[in-house]
Amino acid sequence: MPDFIPPQAALGKVVHAVFHIDRTFNASPQRVFQAFADPAAKALWFTGTLGKWRELERVMDFRVGGRELAKGQWTDGPVTTFDAVYHDIIPERRIVYSYNMFVDARKLSVSLATIEINAAPGGGTHLRISEQGAFLDGYEDGGSRERGTGELMDRIGATLR
């Protein structure tokens, strides 16, 4: 994870991005929901790149109005912080949260994410995550948030086997 120091001319600039990721898992909607709702289950997949990131702090209060914090350090130095608030939870169906993403003390983005969980035709569970991001002060994401979120969704699948 590289350090990001915006040029003075970029301060105040915002770049917006929207993406959707779909996955189908061979697990029940209840089990998929628990991968997000249970702190121990989420800690299995919601991490930085294995071997390149170590956890410094993790707090999770999974309820409407509750907060989640995941903070870790990359082997090359930067500290990343995911700081979220849950806005809407329907067990086994939907989770809506907003979050700030930081590298060291610099806020990179503010995002709104929606997770939809539905029984898949023929069995299993269809999951869709939709995210709207505001990337701040010249940070050009270039699709890395979408790629990273896709990798996290793949990790969920691995924990459900």
Count of C-beta atoms within a 10 Å radius of residue 115: 20
The class of domain 13-159 in CATH terms is: alpha beta
117/50: higher pLDDT: 117
Residue range 16-29, pLDDT digits in tens: 999 999 999 999 99
- Predicted pLDDT of residue 1: 44
The tokens for 77 are 């130095």
Task: Give the mean model confidence (pLDDT) for residues 139-157.
Answer: 92
| SS3 track for the chain | CCCCCCCHHHCCCEEEEEEEEEEEECCCHHHHHHHHHCHHHHHHHCCCCCCCEEEEEEEECCCCCCEEEEEEEECCCCEEEEEEEEEEEECCCEEEEEEEEEECCEEEEEEEEEEEEEECCCCCEEEEEEEEEEEECCCCCCCHHHHHHHHHHHHHHHHCC
Residue ranges per structural domain of the chain: 13-159
Select from 104, 102, 126 the least CA-distant residue to 116.
Answer: 126
Q: What integer best gives the mean pLDDT of the chain?
A: 92
State the Cα–Cα distance between residues 79 and 100, nearest whole angstrom.
14
State what percent of residues in the chain have pLDDT above 90: 81
What is the average pLDDT across 91-111? 96
**Cβ atoms of residues 23 and 157 within 8 Å:** yes
CA distance 82 to 100: 6
